[in-house]
Amino acid sequence: MNLMHEDLARAHMDARLRQARGLQRGHRLARGARLTRRAERAHQQARLLLDRNL
């Protein structure tokens, strides 16, 4: 009986760890997308400034 409770607790803990890792991965992907958009905007602004100065 006690082993069954331990197995259930272990399975629950594993499920929570998988969920947490999935959330972390999602946050990293979202942050990467934001940084990419920011870099693209900076690149466009630099090109516009360069074109205006030529």
DSSP the chain: -HHHHHHHHHHHHHHHHHHHHHHHHHHHHHHHHHHHHHHHHHHHHHHHHHHHH-
Give the confidence band of 54 by pLDDT, cuts at 50, 70, 90: confident
Give the confidence band of 2 by pLDDT, cuts at 50, 70, 90: confident
Listed in sequence order, the residues at least 6 apart from 33 whose beta carbon sits closer than 8 Å to its beta carbon are none
pLDDT, one tens digit per residue, over 20-47 is 999 999 999 999 999 999 999 999 999 9
Rg (CA), the chain: 23
- What sign results for the dihedral spanned by CA atoms 31, 32, 34, 38? positive
